């Protein structure tokens, strides 16, 4: 399996696993009325958003060069590290409220 295909499979797996986590945490949190589990669902939602960004960037980066992008589309992967930024932003918000 080539590298691009493996990158895409990992990104899809990340989206699927994060979607499952969000759904399970949200259902359980709402069933038992736990604010902490619901906040965990929101936390996983941010991870899901980052996984979707990663999947988009991995797929887009494989598009071959065209007239508008003569060096290819590899630079689209630059926003992919937004996940740590999103997580840090989220954590700084939650810890500043404690
Ligand atoms: Zn292009």
Q: Return the pLDDT at 74.
A: 87
Listed by start position, the domains of the chain span 3-96
CA of 4 to the centre of ligand 1 (A): 18
Q: Is 50 exposed, middle or buried (0-12, 13-18, 19+ CB in 10 A)?
A: buried
38-60 average pLDDT score: 93
CA of 16 to the centre of ligand 1 (A): 28
CA of 45 to the centre of ligand 1 (A): 30
Could you tell me the pTM of the whole model?
A: 0.75
Taking the C-alpha atoms of residue 94 and residue 46, their distance in angstroms, rounded to an integer, is 13
CA of 97 to the centre of ligand 1 (A): 43
Near ion ligand 1, which residues have CB within 5 Å? Answer: 66, 68-69
For 71-95, what is each residue's pLDDT tens digit? 999 888 776 666 566 666 666 766 6
14-26 average pLDDT score: 97
Name the nearest CA neighbour of 11 among 43, 63, 48. Answer: 48
Q: Give the other-Cβ count within 10 Å of 44's Cβ.
A: 21
């Amino acid at each position: 399996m080539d590298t691009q295909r493996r990158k895409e499979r990992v990104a899809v797996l990340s989206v699927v696993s994060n979607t499952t986590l969000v759904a399970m945490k949200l259902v359980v949190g709402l069933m038992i009325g736990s604010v902490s589990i619901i906040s965990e669902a929101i936390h996983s939602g941010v991870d899901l958003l980052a996984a979707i960004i990663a999947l988009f960037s991995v797929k887009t980066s494989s598009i071959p060069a065209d007239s508008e992008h003569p060096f290819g589309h590899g630079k689209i992967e630059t926003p992919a590290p937004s996940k740590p930024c999103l997580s840090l932003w989220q954590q700084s918000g939650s810890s500043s409220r404690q």
